[in-house]
Amino acid sequence: MTYNYPDSTGHFGPYGGIYVAETLMGALDELRVAYEHFSNDPKFRAEFSYELKHYVGRPSPIYHARHWSQRLGGAQIYLKREDLNHTGAHKVNNTVGQALLAKRMGKKRVIAETGAGQHGVATATVAARYGMECVVYMGAEDVKRQATNVYRMKLLGATVVPVESGSKTLKDALNEAMRDWVTNIENTFYIIGTVAGPHPYPMMVRDFNSVVSKECIAQMPELAGRQPDAVIACVGGGSNAMGIFHSYIDMPGVQLVGVEAAGSGIASGQHAAALCAGRPGVLHGNRTYLLQDENGQIIETHSISAGLDYPGVGPEHAWLKDSGRAQYVAIEDGEALQAFHDLCHFEGIIPALESSHALAYAAKIAPTLGQDKVLLVNLSGRGDKDMATVARVSGITL
Amino acid sequence: MSRIQTTFEKLKQRGRKALIPFITAGDPNTQTTVPLMHALVEAGADVIELGVPFSDPMADGPTIQRASERALKHGVALHDVLDMVAQFRSKDVSTPVVLMGYGNPIEAMGWECFATRCAEAGVDGVLTVDFPPEESHEAFGHLHRHGIDPIFLLAPTTSDARIAQVAKLARGYVYYVSLKGVTGAGHLDLSAIAQKIPHLRQHIRLPIGVGFGIRDAETALAVAKLCDGVVVGSRIVQEIENSNEQDLVTNVGKLVKELRLAIDQA
């Protein structure tokens, strides 16, 4: 059976769809038509491939973490090195794709929301590359916490707007970006950073990131002699996970595992695990699992990793969960930190705290599996941006 | 005949335009909302749009978002808003009340339960900002069965095909968003509205209210000349925000009276 979601109206089973005010419907329609057209246009696809190769540095390698696997004493762990991309994470696959689309649609201004700043940096980067005006919305709290990334975006020529409303974090930045878009629809393209938002965003962002799993399917037999037993990726909004899951969905022998942020523990209520501990609802243009109170108000999330600190999740993950094709688990801050340090020590790779959640789950199950088993983990980003956070929780002043 | 229909027909007979003020339930506190609703009616409101606070009001500008935040600080939930309407209804049986908000609090309550409770409380219409017609068939089936009018937004960017779709589903009145932007945004383009309304009327038989960006008596009058009703939200919420507690109801009443006088010249 061939996996063929979403349907023509953007639904993944009961999830996804287009839940926005009438004021945005026209723009989404324009985007859907343009994406349908250009995603089938050989010239567009060729330019996208060229940019991924020469600007981003693809294909990214897969690395066999032999030493760490040995220490864990079980399954072999392979890492898809998205951390080696230009700008240091998988995010740029998507921003290149959307910027090329914006260019073809004649939009000279791009906007983005950002949490930790990674998507903001990836957007500012491509805006500079293609000569577009760029405005990035960022929660005022996050602006304070992520000063380096704010400066990085400014160096790249972007305007960073601190968002003072609501909880002053990622979800509020997203609200504010939507408001900008609705006001400046004619000349502005909204580059959403994850597989959420109204249709066609979840599909489009997934498609641009699915280059990751396409490469893995070609690389794994060369390196490991076969496809992996399980593919493991962290899930905030879920774009790196959708990227590495997508081409594997039709291979039933490959288990797909999404790892959410359990923060201080699910029981503490201080977490960001929408799939593991939330329930379905409607936010930011789509129906999906959400962290919400009994009255349907969205609640604030907690994770050591800013990139996973989001109360919703991409609707395709909601569908993969309900349909049983993927499993979702959660990893606490402490476990993620341990995996972060272990990868530094045993492999000489500093992973992003987001990716460390996926690594921690791999480390948890590897010892329970035989040495002939193969786990493929998406090392979705590098950890340079997390130096201050890790130092702080370790009680070190830099 | 529904209360909304009756109201618009009476206005039509008298050659008047509807004044539709918006306030957020529970802003600035729970006990002020019902007295404020009565004051709106006394000052000349024909229909009241009552905002249901939501944590992520994507289509609203900063003014109405702050109103939502003030209400949420008091823990105002959808069931509290329904209680407020029931309380209002015990003294006012004729002024239509339309709940305006986002879908998720309703989803959390369940649409059937919500529609039942709306009917019991005396709610007349529901405008769910982030539920366009495509996603609303099942939800609005519940409203229809309980005699609650689904109110829809139309925008300057709405295509003819979508206008026709809304025309089939809408009851009560339709709400034309007068500008590209969020609630409370800048400048109105009156000539664009003047062009658009007759076009909408080719599809829409219901009364057409116009809102977003109406900030004073002058623009209210100019807009009233072009349509059947004028919706004023952010300007009223701003008055609530800027008033101290004892003057709040009086100040809002005064503002609404000015708007009433203005649009009665239309």
Q: How do residues B27-63 score in pLDDT, each as one tens digit?
A: 999 999 999 999 999 999 999 999 999 999 998 988 9
Name the pLDDT band for B182 (thresholds 50, 70, 90): confident
Of A397, A360, A390, nearest to A72 by C-alpha is A360
Least CB-CB distance to A25: which of B69, B129, B162? B162
Q: Does B54 touch chain A (CB under 8 A)?
A: yes
Contacts of B181 in chain A (CB under 8 A): 23, 179, 182-183
Contacts of B159 in chain A (CB under 8 A): 26, 29
Q: Which residue of B has its CA nearest to A180?
A: B181
- Return the pLDDT at A253: 97
**Kind and range of the H or E element at A285?**
strand A285-290
> DSSP characters for B91-149?
T-SSS-EEEEE-HHHHHHH-HHHHHHHHHHHT--EEEETT--GGGTHHHHHHHHHTTPE
Distance to chain A for B88, nearest Cα, Å: 22
Contacts of B104 in chain A (CB under 8 A): 281-283, 290, 292, 296-298
Q: Does B132 touch chain A (CB under 8 A)?
A: yes
Number of domains in chain B: 1
User: Can you tell me the distance from the alpha carbon of A138 to that of A307, in angstroms, rounded to the nearest whole number?
Assistant: 12
User: Can you tell me the distance from the alpha carbon of A173 to that of A388, in angstroms, rounded to the nearest whole number?
Assistant: 22
The answer for residues whose C-beta is within 8 angstroms of residue A78's C-beta and 6 or more apart is: A62, A63, A64, A65, A220, A223, A224, A228, A374, A375, A376, A377
- Using only C-alpha atoms, what is the Rg of chain B? 17
- Return the pLDDT at A110: 98
Helices (H), chain A: 22-39, 42-51, 66-72, 91-104, 118-130, 140-145, 147-155, 170-183, 201-209, 211-224, 239-245, 274-277, 315-322, 333-347, 353-365, 387-393
For an interface test with B, give the residue of A12, A20, A23 to mutate (most B CBs within 10 A): A23
Q: Which residue of A has its CA nearest to B158?
A: A26
**End-to-end alpha-carbon separation of chain A, Å?**
54
User: Stretch A361-387: mean pLDDT, rounded?
Assistant: 97
| pLDDT, tens digit, 9 for 90 and up, residues B105-155 | 999 999 999 999 999 999 999 999 999 999 998 899 999 999 999 999 999
User: Can you tell me the distance from the alpha carbon of B210 to that of A301, in angstroms, rounded to the nearest whole number?
Assistant: 38
Of A14-18, A23-27, B15-19, least confident by mean pLDDT is: A23-27
Phi and psi, residue A232, nearest 5°: -125, 130
- Return the pLDDT at A171: 86
User: Stretch A13-41: mean pLDDT, rounded?
Assistant: 96
Of A129, A106, A134, nearest to A34 by C-alpha is A106
| pLDDT, tens digit, 9 for 90 and up, residues A74-115 | 999 999 999 999 999 999 999 999 999 999 999 999 999 998
Q: Is B27 one of the catalytic residues?
A: no
Q: What is the CATH number of the domain that holds B31?
A: 3.20.20.70
User: Can you tell me the distance from the alpha carbon of A91 to that of A119, in angstroms, rounded to the nearest whole number?
Assistant: 6
Point out the catalytic residue in the list A82, A113, A141, A316.
A113
Helices (H), chain B: 3-13, 30-42, 62-73, 78-89, 103-109, 111-121, 137-145, 160-169, 190-201, 217-224, 234-242, 248-263
Count CB neighbours of B80 within 10 A.
Answer: 18
> Across the interface, do B153 and A23 touch by the CB < 8 Å criterion?
yes
User: Can you tell me the distance from the alpha carbon of A303 to that of A387, in angstroms, rounded to the nearest whole number?
Assistant: 16
Task: Give the residue numbers spanning the domain of B196.
Answer: 3-263
User: Can you tell me the distance from the alpha carbon of B155 to that of B163, in angstroms, rounded to the nearest whole number?
Assistant: 9
Q: Which residue of A has its CA nearest to B181?
A: A183
Distance to chain A for B15, nearest Cα, Å: 30
Model ipTM value: 0.95
> Across the interface, do B104 and A25 touch by the CB < 8 Å criterion?
no
CB A205 within 8 A of CB A192: yes
Contacts of A282 in chain B (CB under 8 A): 102-104, 107, 130-131
Name the pLDDT band for A1 (thresholds 50, 70, 90): low
The answer for residues whose C-beta is within 8 angstroms of residue B76's C-beta and 6 or more apart is: B25, B26, B30, B53
Contacts of B81 in chain A (CB under 8 A): none
User: Can you tell me the distance from the alpha carbon of A312 to that of B65, in angstroms, rounded to the nearest whole number?
Assistant: 20
Biggest CA–CA distance in chain B, Å, is: 49
Q: Does B61 touch chain A (CB under 8 A)?
A: yes
Q: Does B109 touch chain A (CB under 8 A)?
A: yes
For residue A147, pLDDT beyond 90: no
Place of tokens 């400014």: A154
Least CB-CB distance to A294: which of B108, B157, B177? B108
Count CB neighbours of A186 within 10 A.
Answer: 10
**Residue A205 DSSP symbol:** H
Strands A326-332 and A255-263: parallel
Contacts of B78 in chain A (CB under 8 A): 295-296
User: Can you tell me the distance from the alpha carbon of B77 to that of A244, in angstroms, rounded to the nearest whole number?
Assistant: 40
Q: Which residue of B has its CA nearest to A9?
A: B134
Of A243, A231, A249, nearest to A323 by C-alpha is A249
Point out the catalytic residue in the list B27, B46, B60, B149.
B60
Point out the catalytic residue in the list A80, A91, A107, A385.
A91
| pLDDT, tens digit, 9 for 90 and up, residues A275-289 | 999 999 999 999 999
- Return the pLDDT at B251: 98
> Across the interface, do B55 and A179 touch by the CB < 8 Å criterion?
no
Count CB neighbours of B224 within 10 A.
Answer: 23
User: Can you tell me the distance from the alpha carbon of A343 to that of A274, in angstroms, rounded to the nearest whole number?
Assistant: 27
Least CB-CB distance to A22: which of B78, B107, B155? B155
Place of tokens 């490469």: A215
Contacts of A17 in chain B (CB under 8 A): 134-135
Q: Which residue of A has its CA nearest to B161?
A: A26
- Return the pLDDT at B189: 83
CB B108 within 8 A of CB B132: no
Find out whether the peptide bond into A162 is cis, omega within 30 degrees of 0: no
**Residue B152 DSSP symbol:** E
SS3 B241: helix
Percent of chain A with pLDDT over 70: 100
| Torsion from C-alpha of B7, B8, B14, B20, nearest 10 degrees | 80
Q: What is chain B's length?
A: 266
Q: Does B153 touch chain A (CB under 8 A)?
A: yes
Q: Which residues of B187-206 are buried (b: 16+ CB within 10 A; e: fewer)?
A: ebeeeebeebbeebeebbeb
Place of tokens 């209400």: B71
User: Can you tell me the distance from the alpha carbon of B259 to that of B255, in angstroms, rounded to the nearest whole number?
Assistant: 6
Q: Is A113 one of the catalytic residues?
A: yes
Contacts of A283 in chain B (CB under 8 A): 56, 104
**Residue A315 DSSP symbol:** H
Least CB-CB distance to B181: which of A183, A294, A295? A183
